[in-house]
Chains A and B, each alone.
Chain A
Amino acid sequence: MELKNFGSILNFAAELEAGDEAFYRCVAQNPACVLYKDIFEELVKEHKQNEQKILRIRRENVTEMMLEPIKDFGRTPFMMENGDAGRMDFESVLETARKLEIRSEHYYREAAEKVKALPEVGGELRRIGKKHVIHREKLPNL
């Protein structure tokens, strides 16, 4: 499905954050991940904060002058199956988490380019994208 306007880009970003938050919440409860429960719970909080920030950006930056339609941007390349995070083994959790964070960082980078008419919004999206790089780095190495 195409992302044709400012609101839909940010809505999808909020959906991605909510999905990631749900993933990490399950992972934090997964017995296979008990050694790193604190890290995953921290990631839950951060994704929740990202979601709230995106909704605030959407509220504060949609103005009459900026309803210009956006082209050539869609959801499909960024959709991912997360699997059953509560039952995965630890290696699978890490692999899925890495892919999610790479996906999100990629989305924010592209989304920031699409909202060039609003440089402050583009800046915020790039900053959230960088957080996903940091998240990926927080994931423990095997």
Chain B
Amino acid sequence: MAIPVIKNYINGEWVQSGSTTLGDVWCPATGEKIANVPYSTKEEVDQAVQAARAAFGEWRATPPLSRARYLFRLKELFENSFEDISRTLVREMGKAIDEARGEVRRMIENVEHATGVTTLMTGYCLEDIAKDIDCYAERQPMGVFAAIAPFNFPAMVPWWFLPYAVVAGNTFIVKPSEQVPMTQTRIFEVMQEAGFPPGVVNMVHGSKDVVNALLDHPDIEGISFVGSTPTAKYIYKKCGETGKRVQALGGAKNAIVVMPDANLEKGMPSLITSFYGCSGQRCLSGSILLPVGEIGKELREKFATAAAALKVGDGLDEKTQMGPVVSAQHKKRVLGYIEHGIEEEAKLILDGRTIKVPENPNGFYIGPTIFDQVKPSMTIAREEIFGPVVSIIHAKDLDDAIKIINARGFANAACLYTNSGPVVREFKYRVKPSMIGVNIGIAAPMSFFPFGGAGDSMFGDVKGHGREIFHFFTDAKVVITRWI
């Protein structure tokens, strides 16, 4: 069977890129190549921008409720294609099928939340700010926005931004990760039936050249990005230079603190999900397990037992609890970190390097891995691994744990397992990370709350989704009137 070449979606049409540079798209479960993705050109980016720009005038003049109705239709279309999108996602990204369904659910939640535009985008006014003078502030769409998406949530992340931008009256361009272009392509195929006017939503595939073309384009008002911290910093800097709005969500090194009074039996399932869900490839994954005081030994033993029992395999198999990592290259990178841990004399108590998945010997599998006796200065404790590798750092007390957390540049999420209210209050008051979980291993805000960290995990002032997202995609226009 011929390997398909993914197409771009520009101005309401599927367009084959003219680029001769193609990237490979792999099935992580089997190690087979399943598609080619074009590395589109600067000219093709410009075509998408011009199409979006041309569509803006009429779209922004469409009443917000009418714009919201496109999203209502879209929600039903996504529900009807829910399983198809989920399975496409698993095939190219590798996560377990339930994880993919959860991701698609979150994608749809953002569409649902954005339909509240008629309330969420309202302004405010005040009569008689001076004699015969009234003043009002309203939110106006600005033009063309773009999202640059990561590999780990190929369905959801572009939809942290697109529905809000578009329902606010802007037009939009998505650049999916070149590692996982098929999911968003399937989503756009479904979206076509919603009947958006041509040019309102566009998609251009590619790599660094496409990213730079978007960053440099003078007709793009703002960029939303999710990915690694070095790239987030780069994008934040470039947008500053080119006068664009930017929200750039970067990497993480999340700690999960377990206090002596934590209920380990009830908490263990969510702890395991936190560290090994999506094979550790998420910015909310636990990476450092921080037992405080005497609970360390019991926690280590129970955690290691639960981790060793995880079923690793093809994400499309309902029995699988942890899928492969996304690529051969990423597998090599994660294995490199395991080597670092051994070299730096952390104690390897569960070794995921030796995992075998007999049904799929060529898949990109790494089994659950645990290091104990890790010191905060070690590489595996400081750097983002983005794989199923846990570092256990033992803390003396809560104060010690908070200092370890705050010493990191990353400040995305932090979680705490305890039954003590005062401990929770002190923790959330003092830790720098912005997304906090209490007896929850993945502190994932739902679409109506903001998503984003602090420090080296977030560059820009407005986080993903939530109420404030409309501020990112609109200008606050103040009108002062006097009628004499």
Q: Give the B-binding residues of A (Cβ under 8 A).
A: 1-2, 4-8, 11, 58-69
9 example contacts (A-B, Cβ-Cβ < 8 A) are as follows A4-B319, A5-B96, A5-B321, A6-B98, A59-B105, A62-B102, A63-B106, A67-B98, A68-B270
Q: Which residues from chain B contact A11 at a C-beta distance below 8 Å?
A: 318
Q: Which residues from chain A contact B310 at a C-beta distance below 8 Å?
A: 69
* A4-B321, A8-B318, A62-B102 given; 12 more Cβ-contact pairs under 8 Å: A2-B319, A5-B96, A6-B98, A8-B319, A59-B82, A59-B83, A62-B101, A63-B105, A64-B284, A66-B102, A67-B102, A67-B277
Interface footprint category on B? 20 to 34
Q: Is the CB of B440 within 8 A of A59?
A: no
Q: Is B213 an interface residue (CB 8 A)?
A: no
Closest 9 CB pairs of A and B: A68-B269, A7-B98, A62-B101, A8-B318, A62-B102, A64-B102, A64-B444, A59-B82, A67-B273
Q: Which residues from 89 to 106 on chain B have a C-beta closer than 8 Å to any C-beta of chain A?
A: 96-99, 101-103, 105-106
Q: Is the CB of B273 within 8 A of A69?
A: yes
Task: Count A-B contacts at CB 8 Å.
Answer: 62
Complex Cα distance A69/B277, Å?
A: 10
Complex Cα distance A2/B363, Å?
A: 24
Q: Which residues from 264 to 285 on chain B have a C-beta closer than 8 Å to any C-beta of chain A?
A: 269-270, 272-273, 277, 284
Q: Is the CB of A67 within 8 A of B105?
A: no
| Chain B 437-481 interface mask (CB, 8 Å, partner A; 1/0) | 000101010000000000000000000000000000000000000
Q: Which residues from chain B contact A5 at a C-beta distance below 8 Å?
A: 96, 98, 318, 321
Q: Is B69 an interface residue (CB 8 A)?
A: no
| Least CB separation from B271: chain A residue | A68
Q: Which residues from chain B contact A6 at a C-beta distance below 8 Å?
A: 98
User: Least Cβ distance of A15 to chain B in Å?
Assistant: 11
Q: Is B79 an interface residue (CB 8 A)?
A: yes
Q: Which residues from chain B contact A4 at a C-beta distance below 8 Å?
A: 311, 319, 321
Do A7 and B97 contact each other (CB < 8 Å), given the known contacts A60-B105, A64-B444? yes
